[in-house]
Structure 1
Amino acid sequence: MASVPSYDSDDPEQALKYAIRHVRGDRVQIVEGFIEPSTPTRAHEAAAETIRDQVRPRARELGCITGSGNLDLPGSANWFVPDIAVVPAAQAKGAAALLPEDTLLVVEVTSDANADTDRIVKRERYAEYRAPLYLVVDRQEKSVTVYSEPGGLGYTRVDGPHPFGTRVRLPEPFDLDLDTGDLTWPDLA
């Protein structure tokens, strides 16, 4: 019989985040205190992969890895699992979770079930927790928006929304143009 990981804390935030890390199967995140399982569609994953493929070469040059990973937002009931997080490899090694400020780029691809979460809640929280770049691939609106320069009241720079098919500039340290022409895949029921 497998051993059960031990946990010893009376802090509800830590207890909830501990429990989320030990869920088997689906990707699970906590958004504003609500547990949200996430089972992306093929179309959702294809959009994320399109961005990942374009960002990966530059991420490697910067000594970073690209993945989804876990982002903890301490002091809040939030534990996000972004579609893509670009993180310095040295910081990611052995870490159960990172902070948004540890990333160079966070990417969220919207779904019918979570579009407003990605557009509003996560945008506000990623800015609050100092994620330097936040890219939203909005599949419902067929647009891409880059948020940068996080401040106390949110991101101070917004580039977009740009319709799919537009070349979208990711600022430093990436300094590259994303081709958004292949982001539209139909969801098949």
Structure 2
Amino acid sequence: MSTAPHVPGDYSTVSDPEQALKYAIRHIAGDRTEIIEGVITPMSPSWAHESAAEFVRRQLGARMDELDLVSGSGNLDLPGSENWYIPHLAIVPAELALKTEGALLPDQTLLIVEVSSPSNAETDRVVKRRRYGQYGAPLYLLIDRQNRSCTLYSEPTRLGYAAESGPHPFGTPVALPAPFDLELDTSRL
């Protein structure tokens, strides 16, 4: 018995399309490419995005040291879906980050921060909020630059997040719960 030859462009014979898509992103598309609901999305953060993420990172610095945490914008896999995210900032246990060569899962993070832009604001507000909650990320902070506000989502469920604090206008402190237990200054976002 012979198998039919592979026809270029026909991926119906791929045994696991999710894994094939995620492999292609990691090995072909480049380091700064996400898959959002099956759509390949190259990322090119602006200086404003990077500055907002850095402002949050600096405020968390001493607390991260105390708790042995690290921050970064590494890959997050959402297994069982066609999603592969690269958050603007994620806070994770240092030991876990050091042992992980590939992607982490959202439930392995302690805090995920996304900074919206005109081209991705609805994705951050709706899709990523739902998916991060479904995949167990304990805290999701949305820095919404278009609406000039911050919203903190918590209590992940299979449908998304059960609790939200905000939107808080820029300049209003945002309380980050345990393990951070600090007020986040939003005046320079």
Alignment partner of 2:69 out of 60, 64, 72: 64
1:75-128: CA deviations, max 9, x gaps? Answer: 000000000010111111242101000000000000111000000000000000
Alignment partner of 1:51 out of 50, 53, 56: 56
- State the match for 1:173 in structure 2: 179
Alignment partner of 1:73 out of 52, 74, 78: 78
Alignment of 1:30-45 (within 5 A): 30-45=35-50
The runs of at least 4 aligned residues of structure 1 exceeding 2 Å deviation read 23-26
**Distance in structure 1 (CA, Å) of the matches to 2:29 and 2:135:** 27
Q: Specify the code of the residue in structure 1 equivalent to 2:116.
A: T
Alignment partner of 1:121 out of 124, 127, 131: 127
Q: What RMSD, in angstroms, separates the aligned Cα atoms of the two structures?
A: 1.2
1 or 2 for the larger relative contact order (CA 8 Å, sep ≥6)? 1
Higher gyration radius (CA):
2
* 1:102 aligned onto 2:108: yes
- State the match for 1:150 in structure 2: 156
CA distance 1:34–1:181, shift in 2 (3 Å): same
- State the match for 1:139 in structure 2: 145
Q: CA deviation at 1:24?
A: 5.9
Q: CA deviation at 1:25?
A: 4.8
* Kept in 2: contact 1:66–1:85 (CA 8 A): yes
**Distance in structure 2 (CA, Å) of the matches to 1:170 and 1:87:** 15
The runs of 5 or more residues in structure 1 that have no matched partner are: 1-8, 184-189
Higher deviation after alignment, 96-105 or 54-63: 54-63
- State the match for 1:22 in structure 2: 27
**Distance in structure 1 (CA, Å) of the matches to 2:165 and 2:171:** 15
Q: Specify the code of the residue in structure 1 equivalent to 2:176.
A: L
* Kept in 2: contact 1:26–1:37 (CA 8 A): no
Percentage identity across paired residues of the two chains: 61
Q: CA deviation at 1:163?
A: 0.2
**Distance in structure 1 (CA, Å) of the matches to 2:28 and 2:182:** 37
